Protein backbone atom coordinates (compact mmCIF):
# COMPACT_ATOMS: atom_id res chain seq x y z
CA UNK A 1 0.00 0.00 0.00
CA UNK A 2 1.50 3.34 -1.08
CA UNK A 3 -0.52 5.41 1.34
CA UNK A 4 0.24 6.65 4.81
CA UNK A 5 -2.80 8.26 6.37
CA UNK A 6 -1.78 10.29 9.37
CA UNK A 7 -4.71 12.57 9.94
CA UNK A 8 -6.88 14.45 7.50
CA UNK A 9 -6.87 17.59 9.65
CA UNK A 10 -3.17 17.45 10.25
CA UNK A 11 -2.66 21.16 9.54
CA UNK A 12 -4.31 22.16 12.80
CA UNK A 13 -3.25 19.26 14.99
CA UNK A 14 0.01 19.40 16.85
CA UNK A 15 0.17 15.70 17.65
CA UNK A 16 -0.41 14.20 14.22
CA UNK A 17 3.20 13.60 13.32
CA UNK A 18 4.16 11.95 16.59
CA UNK A 19 5.03 8.78 14.67
CA UNK A 20 8.48 9.31 13.26
CA UNK A 21 8.74 8.61 9.53
CA UNK A 22 12.01 7.27 8.24
CA UNK A 23 13.65 8.33 4.97
CA UNK A 24 13.63 6.91 2.33
CA UNK A 25 11.36 3.94 3.11
CA UNK A 26 8.33 5.89 4.38
CA UNK A 27 8.64 8.55 1.68
CA UNK A 28 9.76 7.31 -1.71
CA UNK A 29 6.92 6.58 -4.14
CA UNK A 30 4.41 7.35 -1.41
CA UNK A 31 1.98 10.14 -0.67
CA UNK A 32 1.90 11.12 2.97
CA UNK A 33 -1.35 12.55 4.20
CA UNK A 34 -0.34 15.40 6.48
CA UNK A 35 0.80 18.97 6.75
CA UNK A 36 3.53 19.75 4.24
CA UNK A 37 5.66 21.85 6.57
CA UNK A 38 5.65 19.28 9.35
CA UNK A 39 6.30 16.38 7.02
CA UNK A 40 9.10 18.19 5.12
CA UNK A 41 10.88 18.76 8.44
CA UNK A 42 11.31 14.97 8.60
CA UNK A 43 13.06 14.80 5.22
CA UNK A 44 16.88 14.89 5.46
CA UNK A 45 18.76 17.81 3.88
CA UNK A 46 19.91 17.40 0.26
CA UNK A 47 17.92 14.18 -0.22
CA UNK A 48 15.45 15.32 -2.93
CA UNK A 49 16.69 16.37 -6.39
CA UNK A 50 13.90 18.75 -7.37
CA UNK A 51 10.65 20.06 -5.93
CA UNK A 52 7.72 20.73 -8.28
CA UNK A 53 4.69 22.24 -6.65
CA UNK A 54 1.71 24.53 -6.75
CA UNK A 55 0.61 25.67 -3.29
CA UNK A 56 -2.88 26.91 -2.45
CA UNK A 57 -2.99 30.50 -3.77
CA UNK A 58 -5.00 31.93 -0.84
CA UNK A 59 -7.62 32.89 -3.41
CA UNK A 60 -10.46 33.25 -0.95
CA UNK A 61 -8.58 36.02 0.79
CA UNK A 62 -9.30 38.51 -1.96
CA UNK A 63 -10.21 42.18 -2.22
CA UNK A 64 -12.65 41.15 -4.96
CA UNK A 65 -15.93 39.56 -3.97
CA UNK A 66 -16.21 36.84 -6.56
CA UNK A 67 -14.48 33.98 -4.77
CA UNK A 68 -16.51 34.55 -1.64
CA UNK A 69 -19.90 34.19 -3.27
CA UNK A 70 -20.10 31.43 -5.86
CA UNK A 71 -23.78 32.22 -6.56
CA UNK A 72 -23.25 35.34 -8.59
CA UNK A 73 -19.63 36.34 -8.83
CA UNK A 74 -17.28 36.11 -11.75
CA UNK A 75 -15.99 32.79 -10.39
CA UNK A 76 -19.32 31.02 -10.60
CA UNK A 77 -18.05 28.56 -13.18
CA UNK A 78 -14.77 27.88 -11.45
CA UNK A 79 -14.45 24.66 -9.48
CA UNK A 80 -12.23 26.50 -7.01
CA UNK A 81 -15.11 28.69 -5.82
CA UNK A 82 -16.10 25.74 -3.64
CA UNK A 83 -12.56 25.68 -2.29
CA UNK A 84 -10.48 22.70 -1.24
CA UNK A 85 -11.95 19.92 0.86
CA UNK A 86 -9.62 20.35 3.83
CA UNK A 87 -8.05 23.78 3.39
CA UNK A 88 -9.99 27.06 3.45
CA UNK A 89 -7.54 29.05 1.29
CA UNK A 90 -8.40 32.19 3.23
CA UNK A 91 -5.52 33.12 5.55
CA UNK A 92 -4.72 36.74 6.46
CA UNK A 93 -2.23 37.79 3.77
CA UNK A 94 0.77 38.22 6.12
CA UNK A 95 0.18 34.81 7.65
CA UNK A 96 -0.07 33.26 4.19
CA UNK A 97 3.20 34.87 3.06
CA UNK A 98 4.98 33.64 6.20
CA UNK A 99 3.60 30.11 5.72
CA UNK A 100 4.72 29.97 2.10
CA UNK A 101 8.17 31.35 2.95
CA UNK A 102 8.53 28.72 5.68
CA UNK A 103 7.53 26.04 3.15
CA UNK A 104 10.03 27.37 0.58
CA UNK A 105 12.76 27.37 3.23
CA UNK A 106 12.15 23.66 3.85
CA UNK A 107 11.99 22.88 0.11
CA UNK A 108 15.31 24.68 -0.36
CA UNK A 109 16.93 22.82 2.56
CA UNK A 110 16.09 19.39 1.19
CA UNK A 111 17.52 19.90 -2.31
CA UNK A 112 21.27 19.40 -2.97
CA UNK A 113 23.73 21.90 -4.47
CA UNK A 114 22.54 20.97 -7.98
CA UNK A 115 18.84 20.95 -7.05
CA UNK A 116 15.94 23.24 -7.93
CA UNK A 117 12.44 24.19 -6.84
CA UNK A 118 9.79 24.77 -9.51
CA UNK A 119 7.25 26.88 -7.59
CA UNK A 120 4.05 27.61 -9.50
CA UNK A 121 1.96 30.61 -8.47
CA UNK A 122 -0.56 33.05 -9.81
CA UNK A 123 -0.29 36.82 -9.89
CA UNK A 124 -3.51 38.76 -9.40
CA UNK A 125 -4.88 42.26 -9.01
CA UNK A 126 -5.67 43.31 -5.45
CA UNK A 127 -7.07 46.74 -4.61
CA UNK A 128 -6.45 47.70 -8.23
CA UNK A 129 -2.72 46.87 -8.24
CA UNK A 130 -0.69 43.84 -9.27
CA UNK A 131 0.17 41.39 -6.50
CA UNK A 132 3.13 39.59 -8.03
CA UNK A 133 4.19 37.34 -5.09
CA UNK A 134 7.50 39.16 -4.70
CA UNK A 135 6.81 39.22 -0.96
CA UNK A 136 7.05 35.41 -0.89
CA UNK A 137 10.10 34.82 -3.09
CA UNK A 138 12.14 38.05 -2.86
CA UNK A 139 15.20 36.66 -1.07
CA UNK A 140 15.20 33.17 -2.56
CA UNK A 141 17.57 32.62 -5.51
CA UNK A 142 15.09 32.91 -8.39
CA UNK A 143 16.99 32.19 -11.61
CA UNK A 144 14.09 32.43 -14.03
CA UNK A 145 10.34 32.81 -14.34
CA UNK A 146 8.58 30.48 -16.75
CA UNK A 147 5.25 31.73 -18.04
CA UNK A 148 2.58 29.03 -18.18
CA UNK A 149 0.07 30.32 -20.74
CA UNK A 150 -3.32 28.74 -20.13
CA UNK A 151 -6.40 28.64 -22.38
CA UNK A 152 -8.38 31.80 -21.69
CA UNK A 153 -9.21 32.99 -18.20
CA UNK A 154 -12.11 33.91 -15.91
CA UNK A 155 -11.15 37.17 -14.18
CA UNK A 156 -12.97 39.60 -16.46
CA UNK A 157 -12.58 43.14 -15.15
CA UNK A 158 -13.06 46.45 -16.92
CA UNK A 159 -9.86 47.78 -15.35
CA UNK A 160 -7.35 45.38 -16.90
CA UNK A 161 -6.82 42.83 -19.66
CA UNK A 162 -7.99 39.28 -18.99
CA UNK A 163 -5.20 37.42 -17.12
CA UNK A 164 -4.33 34.20 -18.95
CA UNK A 165 -1.06 33.01 -17.46
CA UNK A 166 0.48 31.65 -14.28
CA UNK A 167 4.15 31.77 -13.35
CA UNK A 168 6.63 29.08 -12.40
CA UNK A 169 9.53 30.42 -10.34
CA UNK A 170 12.71 28.44 -11.01
CA UNK A 171 14.50 28.72 -7.66
CA UNK A 172 17.91 27.09 -7.73
CA UNK A 173 21.03 26.13 -5.87
CA UNK A 174 24.10 27.26 -7.76
CA UNK A 175 25.04 24.03 -9.60
CA UNK A 176 21.60 23.35 -11.08
CA UNK A 177 21.65 22.48 -14.78
CA UNK A 178 18.91 21.43 -17.18
CA UNK A 179 18.97 18.14 -19.05
CA UNK A 180 20.73 18.38 -22.45
CA UNK A 181 18.79 20.49 -24.99
CA UNK A 182 15.89 21.24 -22.62
CA UNK A 183 16.80 24.95 -22.70
CA UNK A 184 15.33 25.05 -26.24
CA UNK A 185 11.81 24.91 -24.78
CA UNK A 186 12.13 28.61 -24.03
CA UNK A 187 10.44 30.35 -21.14
CA UNK A 188 6.81 30.68 -22.33
CA UNK A 189 4.94 27.39 -22.28
CA UNK A 190 1.41 26.90 -23.56
CA UNK A 191 -0.63 24.10 -21.99
CA UNK A 192 -4.40 23.96 -21.64
CA UNK A 193 -5.97 23.36 -18.25
CA UNK A 194 -6.71 19.82 -17.08
CA UNK A 195 -10.42 19.26 -17.67
CA UNK A 196 -11.13 15.69 -16.56
CA UNK A 197 -10.08 15.84 -12.95
CA UNK A 198 -12.41 16.29 -9.95
CA UNK A 199 -9.70 18.18 -8.01
CA UNK A 200 -10.47 21.96 -8.14
CA UNK A 201 -6.97 23.10 -9.22
CA UNK A 202 -4.99 20.34 -10.94
CA UNK A 203 -1.85 20.78 -13.02
CA UNK A 204 -2.01 19.44 -16.58
CA UNK A 205 0.14 16.27 -16.65
CA UNK A 206 2.02 17.50 -19.74
CA UNK A 207 3.15 20.67 -17.99
CA UNK A 208 4.74 18.72 -15.14
CA UNK A 209 6.13 16.12 -17.50
CA UNK A 210 7.85 18.98 -19.39
CA UNK A 211 9.44 20.17 -16.13
CA UNK A 212 10.58 16.75 -14.91
CA UNK A 213 11.89 15.60 -18.27
CA UNK A 214 13.85 18.86 -18.54
CA UNK A 215 15.93 17.89 -15.51
CA UNK A 216 18.23 15.04 -14.52
CA UNK A 217 16.34 14.53 -11.25
CA UNK A 218 15.94 11.02 -9.95
CA UNK A 219 13.57 11.94 -7.15
CA UNK A 220 10.88 14.63 -7.20
CA UNK A 221 8.92 16.06 -4.26
CA UNK A 222 5.52 17.72 -4.42
CA UNK A 223 4.56 18.96 -0.92
CA UNK A 224 1.08 20.01 -2.15
CA UNK A 225 0.34 16.89 -4.17
CA UNK A 226 -3.42 17.36 -4.70
CA UNK A 227 -4.66 14.80 -7.22
CA UNK A 228 -1.21 13.29 -7.81
CA UNK A 229 -0.21 14.96 -11.08
CA UNK A 230 3.46 15.31 -10.11
CA UNK A 231 3.61 11.62 -9.15
CA UNK A 232 2.04 10.62 -12.46
CA UNK A 233 4.50 12.78 -14.43
CA UNK A 234 7.40 11.32 -12.41
CA UNK A 235 6.29 7.78 -13.17
CA UNK A 236 5.82 8.56 -16.88
CA UNK A 237 9.42 9.83 -16.93
CA UNK A 238 10.75 6.89 -14.93
CA UNK A 239 11.61 8.97 -11.86
CA UNK A 240 10.72 8.49 -8.20
CA UNK A 241 8.38 10.77 -6.28
CA UNK A 242 7.52 11.88 -2.75
CA UNK A 243 4.12 13.43 -2.14
CA UNK A 244 2.51 15.28 0.75
CA UNK A 245 -1.16 16.27 0.81
CA UNK A 246 -3.41 17.38 3.67
CA UNK A 247 -6.67 15.98 2.33
CA UNK A 248 -7.27 12.27 2.70
CA UNK A 249 -9.82 12.38 -0.13
CA UNK A 250 -7.26 13.93 -2.51
CA UNK A 251 -4.64 11.37 -1.46
CA UNK A 252 -7.09 8.63 -2.36
CA UNK A 253 -7.86 10.34 -5.68
CA UNK A 254 -4.13 10.59 -6.39
CA UNK A 255 -3.57 6.93 -5.54
CA UNK A 256 -6.38 5.94 -7.89
CA UNK A 257 -4.97 8.07 -10.73
CA UNK A 258 -1.47 6.70 -10.18
CA UNK A 259 -2.71 3.12 -10.20
CA UNK A 260 -4.55 3.72 -13.48
CA UNK A 261 -1.64 5.02 -15.56
CA UNK A 262 -0.46 2.63 -18.20
CA UNK A 263 3.24 2.79 -18.95
Ligand X SMILES: C[S@@+](CC[C@H](N)C(=O)[O-])C[C@H]1O[C@@H](n2cnc3c(N)ncnc32)[C@H](O)[C@@H]1O
Which stretches of the chain bind ligand X, using CB under 6 A? 11, 35-36, 54-56, 84, 86-87, 199, 201-203, 224, 226-227, 229, 244-247, 250
In the complex, which residue's CB is closest to ligand X? Answer: 226
* Smallest gap from residue 115 Cβ to ligand X (A): 19
Q: Report in angstroms how near the CB of residue 230 gets to ligand X at its nearest.
A: 6
- Which C-beta is closer to ligand X: that of 36 or that of 209? 36
Q: How far is CA 165 from CA 32, 89, 148, in A?
A: 30, 20, 5
Distance of closest approach, residue 197 Cβ to ligand X, in angstroms: 7
Strand 165-172 with 142-149, pairing: antiparallel
Residue 125's nearest CA partner among 186, 216, 59, 36 is: 59
CB 58 within 8 A of CB 35: no
Pick the closer one to ligand X by CB: 113 or 190: 190
Contacts of residues 101-104 at CB distance under 8 Å and 24 or more positions apart, as own/partner, are: 101/136, 102/37, 103/36, 103/37, 103/40, 103/55, 103/223, 104/136, 104/137, 104/140, 104/171
Is residue 66 helix, strand or coil?
Answer: helix
Smallest distance from ligand X to CB 100, Å: 11
Q: How far is the CB of 94 from ligand X (least distance, A)?
A: 17
Pick between residue 84 and residue 108 the one whose CB is nearest to ligand X: 84
- Are 210 and 185 in contact, with CB atoms under 8 Å apart? yes
Least CB distance from residue 160 to ligand X, whole Å?
A: 23
Q: Give the C-alpha separation, 253 to 16, whole Å.
A: 22
Determine how many CB atoms are found less than 10 A away from the CB of residue 55.
19
Report yes or no: 47 and 212 within 8 Å, Cβ to Cβ: no
- Select 97 or 112, whichever has its Cβ closest to ligand X: 97
Of the pair 103, 219, the CB lying nearest ligand X is at 103
Q: Of the two residues 79 and 112, which places its CB atom closer to ligand X in the complex?
A: 79
Amino acid sequence: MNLIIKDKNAYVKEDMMSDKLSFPNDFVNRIICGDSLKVMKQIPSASIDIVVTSPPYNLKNSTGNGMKDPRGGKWKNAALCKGYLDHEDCMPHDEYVKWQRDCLTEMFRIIPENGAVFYNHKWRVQDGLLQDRHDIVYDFPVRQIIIWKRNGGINFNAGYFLPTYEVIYLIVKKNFKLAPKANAFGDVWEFGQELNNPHPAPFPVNLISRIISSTNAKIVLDPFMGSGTTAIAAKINNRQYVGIEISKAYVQLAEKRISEILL
